[in-house]
Structure 1
Amino acid sequence: MDESPTVTAADYTLTANSAAASAAERTRLMEAPAFGMVFTDHMARATWTIDGGWGNRRVEPFADLALHPGATVLHYSQQVFEGLKAYRWADGSTRLFRPEGNARRMAASAARLGLPALSEQDFLASIEALLAVDGDWVPTEGESSLYLRPLLMGTEPCLGVRPSHEVEYLLMACPVGAYFSGGVRPVSIWVAQGFHRAGEGGTGQAKTGGNYAGSLLPQQQAQDNGCDQVLFLDAREDKYIEELGGMNVFAVRRDGTVWTPRVTGTILEGVTRASVIELLRAEGREVVERDISLEALREGISDGSVVELFACGTAAVITPIARLVSPDFDVLVGDGGPGTLTMHLRTVLTDIQYGRRDDQFGWMTQIA
C-alpha cells in the first residue's frame, strides 16, 4: 500500500455539477437501470506523478475524459479496476460490503501492473466524498444498490514500453437494480474450447481490463450457443476448471462438502468468494479448495455426487448454475433448478448486505 499521509473525504475538493439531474429525473433514471448504463452526477478523481505522488484529489461533474492519444493505458493496457456496492439500509444509512477487501485487491492488482497503489484510507475517503454529494443516487427498492467502479490507469503520453509516470484514479457510480429482474434463475455455462483466461505468471490474479478483453470472444460464443456465461479451464493442462468470465465457481457435493478451485495466481480472489467460504465454515461445512478437473466435475454431476453448482461475484452475488455445455456434452445439474444450499447462502449474504440480518462477521462499513 501507498504510505501516503492521512487522507479523509475532506481532502477531495468539490466542484458541483451545475447540470445535475433533478429529483424527478433521478427517480426516472433509477426506475429500472441496466447494469452500468446510468451514472451519477459526479466522479471522484486523484492524480499521481512519479515526482509528487498522489495529489489533486477532487470530486467533479461526471464528464468525458480528455486523454492524450499516446496515453499508456491506450497502448499497453496499464489499468486496473474494482467493483463494489453501496447499500441503503432501512434506517436510511448507507453501507459498504467489505470495502477494505476491494482496497487491498486493487493495491495488489496495481502492483502487478506496475501502477502506484492507492491507500485503503484514500480508497475509502474517495467513496465517502462521492457519496456525500451523490448519496441520493443510492436506491431504496428491493435488491437495488449503487455500484461503485474505482479505476486506476496510466495516462502519461509515452510510447515507451515502461510503467507510466502519470496515473489517474477515478471513481464512478451507477445505480443498479436486482441482477435478475424476474427473480433468481439458474444459468447455463459454456465451457471454453481452445481459449484460456490466464496463464501462470500472468495477470490472472489481478483485476485488469486485459483479462476481460480476452474473455469477450468466448463469452460471445457462449451466447451464440444459448448460454449465459463461459467457464475457463487452466492454460497448462486444459483440464481443470478455474473461473467464469467474471465470477468464481463452487460445487456442492452430496456429502455436504463444498469444493472450489484453489487460488493459484491465475484466478481472481473474489471478495464474495472469500465471504461464501467464511459463511460455509461458520455453519460447520467443510470447504475444500483444490484442483477440480472438468472430467471429475462431469462425472460427479452424472452420478449424483455433485448436487449443486453456483457462481458468485459482486454483480449477481450468488448465481445457481443449471447446465454445463460444450460441443461434446450438455449436462444438467440436479433437476436444473436452484439448489437449496445455493439459495440459502444467497439469502444469508444479501440479508447481511441490506441489514436484514445481524452482521456477525463485521463485514458492513457505514459510509453515510
Structure 2
Amino acid sequence: MRTRLTAVILALGLGQPLLAQNVGEKPASREAPFALQAVARLPNPWAIAPLPGGDLLVSGKPGRMWRVGQGRVSELKGLPKVQYSGQNGMLDVAIAPDFAQTQAVYFTYVSPQNALVLARGTLRADRLEGIKTLWQQTPGGRGQPGGIIAFGPDGMLYLSVGDRMLPDTAQDPDNPRGKILRLTREGKAAPGNPQYDAGGVRAQTWSEGHRNAYGLAFSPDGTLWEHEMGPRGGDELNEIKPGRNYGWPLVSNGRQYSGLPIPDHDTRPDLAAPKLWWSPVIAPAGLAIYEGRDFPEWQGDLLIGGLAGQGLALVAGDGSDQLARWDLGMRVRDVAVGPQGQVWIIQDANDGALYRLVPK
C-alpha cells in the first residue's frame, strides 16, 4: 500500500489539493449565535423550498407537501403516490429560476415501483397542477435514493442519484446510480456534458462515484458543492467538477458496516478526493450557501444539516475548514436560506417541525 507521504506527492503531481482534513473529531457546541423559533409542526418533513414572497414549500416523506406562511399551513393537493418506506418517499422540492413567471415547482420522489422520479408541476394556490414526469430511474433500487435538485447558473438542472444500496453500480457508466446528472429543465441530457455525444446515461452524467448525496448547491462564484454519507465513517464534502470520478465504492475514508476496511482516498490519487470529511459521521443532510442580512458574518459559507450529528455545521465558503458545529438536540434533515437571508431548518422526526434561526 502506498504511504501517506507518497500519496501526497502523487496528488501534487496531478495538481490535486493536499489531503483533506477530518473535521468529524471537532466537538459540537451547545452555544449558538441564534435561537430556534418554531414555525410549524409537520410529520416527517424532508425538504424546504423558499418562495419569493416569503412563504415556504415543505415536502413530507409520506407523500405530502405543505405551503407554510403568514401564520397558516396548508397541504397541497394533486401529488402523485409514493413508496413510503425506510429512506424512500417524497424527497426534494425546488422552485424554477423563473418561478415568478411560470410558478413551476420541481420535486423528486420514489415511485410505488421503487424508481427515483423527477417531476414538475405548476403551483396554483394550494395545489400542484399539470404534473409531468421529466426523468425516471431505470432500473430502480432499494434505499439511498439521493434525489437532490439544484439549478445551476447555466440554467440547467443538476440531480443527485444515490447508489440505491448497490455500491458497484456507482462505477457503471451506463447506470444512473451513484451519479450527479446535468439535465435540461425538461429532463433531457444537457448539451455540454462530458459525454453528451455518447447518448443514454453517459450523456446525462456530470460526475460519478457517489454514494448517497443529500446535499447539492451552487456558491455565488458558480462552484458546485456536494456532500454525501459515507458507510461506517467517511462522510464527504466534495467540490464537483465535470467528468470526475469521486471514488465510491473503490475508496472511502470510512469502513464497511462489517468492519472490513476500504482503501482510503489517498491510495488512489486518480480519483477525486473530498475537500473535508467527517469521522465520526454527522450524516449530512441539506446544504445551503448563505447570502443575506440575518447573519452577515456567514456570507458565502456553507450550512449543512446533520442527522446523526443532531445539529448544524458551518463550513468555510472555499471548503477548507469547518468553522463551527452546533448541537441542536435534533436530527436536522434540511436547511434553506430565504430571499432576505432567513435561515430555515427542519427536524427529521415523526412529529417533526420547521424552525427559523433568529439571530441573538
TM-score, length-scaled by structure 1: 0.27
TM-score (norm 2): 0.27
More strand by share: 2
Which one has the bigger helix percentage? 1
